[in-house]
Chain A
Amino acid sequence: MIKKNSWVQITKTILKPEERAVNLPEPTKKVPMMMWVKGFLLEAGELNSLVKIRTLTGRIESGLLVCENPSYMHTYGEFVPELLEIDRICKTTLFGGDFYE
């Protein structure tokens, strides 16, 4: 159970596939349009249950409770060694082939 007033993220279907705009590419046409939004939980609720939140601008939105204290987990990703080869190409072109010696 997640407590009332907790900072949470919810998700909701905005448009079902049949309600979507016409002329969409096939892969988009067959999936719903979804929304994710964050706010303070108005009443205590379970994960994946339908809840209401108050957003930062004071709006009320409802949807399925995704998580409490949604975090920023994006990173620089797994190292891409090709970047070192780019460094070698531009440095040896500019400073000469013996730059790394």
Chain B
Amino acid sequence: MNNSYEAVMARKNQIMKSSVGINYDKYEGDYLNFDFEEMMSDCGFSLREVRQIQNQFGVGNTPLKECKNITDLARKVSKPGYGARIFIKDEALNDSGSFKARRASMACYQAKKLGFKGVIAATSGNYGAAVASQAAKHGLKCIIVQECFDSNGIGQPEIIEKARACEAYGAEVVQLSVGPELFYKFLLLLEETKYFNASLYTPYGVMGIESLGAELVEDCLKQNGKVPDMVVCTNAGGGNLTGTARGILKTTKEKIQIVGASVNLKGLHMANDIDFNKKSFTTGHTGFGIPFMINPDRSDVPRSAGRPLRYIDRYVTVNQGEVFFMTETLAVLEGIERGPAGNTSLAAAFSLAKELKQDQIIIVQETEYTSAGKHHQAQLAFARKNGINIYFGNPEDEIPGKSIVFPKTVDLIQAKDLDLDVIRKKYIRGQLLKTNKLTKKDIEFLIIETNTNTDYILSEIKKHNVELEE
């Protein structure tokens, strides 16, 4: 068989189809629309069933913890009467140490049910350990494909730790140097092994998080007699935010503001061999968050189940220095030592709390485990070794890849809003590049996809040379 890059990429659709057991063509309509809800429900698990399965496999029912000292700290720098109560959903306590166990639990359960011998996932994040852990429980073989090293063989400490964790759960880890052709090796492995593609972006990968949205509403009601006012989700590929929001919508009719938060890595190219080890966050950053929001279907399946623009109310960024600062603060003020990437949303919540009144509640919906490599101390030491200038000042001055700026005073922790309107317009423009004809169903699809309305979509369409079919 021809295994050149071009030949393998040309076989992509066929390989994908047999490796996820989903016929994506079934959901496609003319010209842009596809039936997202049908795709989700066809997978055959209700939220209740998801929770039952997760209960059996060491996932979910993590504690919701109030961070009283961090809340008090936010109040020190808020206007009188402001400074919402900050809670964290301590997802690090799932087996394998992150909320990704929720996603992996459904993928592995389905793989076993369909009779696959093993699972493969392409991930440099916590999802690898999550799949490896769940695969171990089901007696499935497991391969994790990671982008891990630069071309000199220097590994990102966080990713090296995640490789160790995968191997600790018995998985085979295939480590690659920087580049999007990771997908090429991933396809070759799927073809060779005929394992299940435990993609983060299948319906299984997203429905597994709906339980998190449901739990945080229920926990908050139980502890406080009311639902949270705001939930902050770290955003990368969009699945976390999508699943959490869907779980919330299935659990309460009350309006809860859904905020996405990413680490600002502006200026660093994700496929750049040199930039690779200049960043201190390997996920939860704008390098994934923004492109995946503009084009969710750029993932490793034909249609991603992570569609954050449908659910997001507000999107903010925080700087690396702010996240490291909050990670240290969580340890020394709350006595909870956790990994830095999972605290992206905590840093954002600290800033957002200043805008809300003291009786309001913000939930940070994740934490992640910490370890050698995957610790702010390790990441900062690595950054310093790579020539990154680390200093106290105004985090606004941070230049990703050149500096990490810790806030010299607490009031300088300030999340920055991204303009969702710009992202929505870019999403629409991207969609309209695929066709010059649209049906009514496509218009409805674009409205849902962007969480807007008919007028908004029609006025955007006018800017493009598109024919509307009756």
Contact = CB atoms under 8 A, between A and B. Distances in A.
Given A57-B172, A90-B73, A90-B333, A83 B377 contact: yes
A34 B373 contact: no
Interface stretch (B16-24, B103-111, B404-412): B404-412
Describe B's contact surface by its main secondary structure: mixed
A93 B76 CA distance: 7
B375 A89 contact: no
Contacts of A27: 272-275
B180 interface: yes
A11 B176 CA distance: 9
Interface in B151-197: 151, 153, 155, 157, 160-161, 164, 167, 170-181, 184-185, 192-193
Given A19-B5, A85-B392, A86-B328, A76 B378 contact: yes
A91 B381 contact: no
Given A25-B269, A36-B148, A36-B149, A91 B171 contact: no
Contacts of B180: 21, 24
Contacts of B5: 15, 19-21
Given A20-B179, A89-B410, A90-B332, A76 B372 contact: yes
Given A21-B5, A90-B410, A33 B378 contact: no
Contact of B157 (A14, A74, A82): A74
Given A24-B271, A37-B175, A76-B381, A94 B149 contact: no
A33 B173 contact: no
Interface size class of B (residues with CB under 8 A): 35 or more
Contacts, number: 163
A28 interface: yes
Interface residues of A, number: 42
A35 B141 contact: no
Interface in A41-60: 55-59
Interface in B390-424: 390-392, 406-410
B188 to A, nearest CB: 9
Nearest to A55: B172
Nearest to A9: B175
Contact of A57 (B118, B151, B178, B332): B118
A72 B147 CA distance: 17
Contacts of A93: 73, 76-77, 409-410
A14 B184 contact: yes
Nearest to B178: A28
B174 A35 contact: yes
Given A31-B151, A74-B373, A77-B378, A25 B185 contact: no
Contacts of B375: 76
B380 A15 contact: no
B160 A74 contact: yes
Contacts of B271: 24-25, 28
A33 B328 contact: no
B176 A33 contact: yes
Interface in A4-35: 11, 14-15, 19-21, 24-25, 27-28, 31-35
For A55, A58, A90, which residue has the most chain B Cβ atoms within 10 angstroms?
A: A90
3 closest A-B pairs by CB: A77-B381, A31-B151, A74-B373
23 contacts: A11-B153, A14-B185, A21-B5, A21-B179, A25-B269, A32-B177, A33-B176, A34-B176, A34-B177, A36-B176, A38-B173, A56-B172, A72-B160, A76-B381, A80-B390, A82-B391, A83-B328, A86-B328, A87-B332, A90-B410, A91-B332, A93-B410, A94-B333
Interface of B: 4-5, 69, 72-73, 76-77, 118, 141-143, 148-149, 151, 153, 155, 157, 160-161, 164, 167, 170-181, 184-185, 192-193, 269, 271-275, 324-325, 328-329, 332-333, 372-373, 375-382, 384-385, 390-392, 406-410
